[in-house]
């Protein structure tokens, strides 16, 4: 059984399905006996990054903090799953360089679909001007140029997306095919 650590970095707009796929992936990997830790952007902001705002500098700091924790976990043979909008390409690239064993997963979803899924009403508030600097509305989201995996989350189920990630982990040598087939 492979015990190499890796960071699986989910990026995409709010509501694109990052956290949902991450949780499915976590369950599959734990079922294989792997050590897994999920770092969800909302949870991290409440704890590790409490007090940070949403300026570009604060967002960069938040994403670098998540990246540093992923780096520590990965070098200790843990599969770290980061699920954060992480809108800026240069900070994702910084984390890729820091961590090394890094698999970028783009949860690609139309903004229209993300807005339909928005249970917190954040897009509506952003469009009404109640929230400013909201990614995808009045702040940019820089799509990854060469992610290892693209999940078309408005065209496939979360389970299909998770399976796509599992296959890529296998292909890259982070999972043995025998481990995956046990599922």
pLDDT score, position 111: 92
Domain ranges of the chain: 6-181
Beta-bridge partners for 9: 82, 104
Beta-bridge partners for 105: 10, 149
6 in Cβ contact with 140 (< 8 Å): no
Question: Per-residue pLDDT for 180 more than 60?
Answer: no
- For 26-57, what is each residue's pLDDT tens digit? 999 999 999 999 998 878 877 777 778 788 88
Provide DSSP, 18-82. HHHHHHHHHHHHHHTT--EEEEEHHHHHHTTTTT--SSHHHHHHHHHHHHHHHHHHHHTT-EEEE
Lowest mean pLDDT of 37-51, 81-95, 114-128, 134-148, name the range. 37-51
- For 6-20, what is each residue's pLDDT tens digit? 999 999 999 999 999
Give the global pTM.
0.92
Q: Which fold has domain 6-181?
A: Rossmann fold (3.40.50)
H or E segment at 166?
helix 158-171
For this structure, is 77 an active site residue?
A: no
Which residue carries 């952007």 as its tokens?
41
Q: Which of 16, 83, 86, 161 is catalytic?
A: 86
Length of the chain: 183
Distance in angstroms (rounded) separating the CA atoms of residues 180 and 183: 6
Question: Per-residue pLDDT for 1 more than 50?
Answer: no
Look at 143 and 44; give whichever has higher pLDDT.
143
């Amino acid at each position: 059984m492979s015990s190499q650590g890796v960071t699986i970095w989910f990026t995409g707009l709010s509501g694109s399905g990052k956290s949902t796929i991450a949780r499915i992936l976590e369950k599959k990997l734990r079922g294989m006996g792997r050590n897994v830790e999920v770092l969800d952007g909302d949870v991290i902001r409440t704890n590790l990054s409490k007090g940070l705002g949403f300026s570009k500098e604060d967002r960069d700091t938040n994403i670098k903090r998540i990246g540093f924790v992923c780096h520590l976990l990965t070098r200790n043979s843990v599969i770290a799953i980061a699920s954060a909008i992480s809108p800026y390409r240069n900070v994702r690239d910084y984390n890729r360089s820091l961590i090394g064993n890094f698999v970028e997963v783009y949860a690609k979803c139309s903004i229209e679909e993300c807005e339909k899924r928005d249970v917190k009403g954040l897009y509506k508030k952003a469009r009404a001007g109640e929230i400013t600097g909201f990614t995808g509305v009045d702040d940019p989201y820089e799509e990854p140029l060469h992610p290892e995996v693209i999940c078309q989350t408005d065209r496939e189920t979360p389970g299909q997306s998770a399976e796509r990630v599992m296959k890529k982990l296998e292909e890259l040598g982070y999972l043995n095919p025998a481990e995956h087939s046990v599922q």
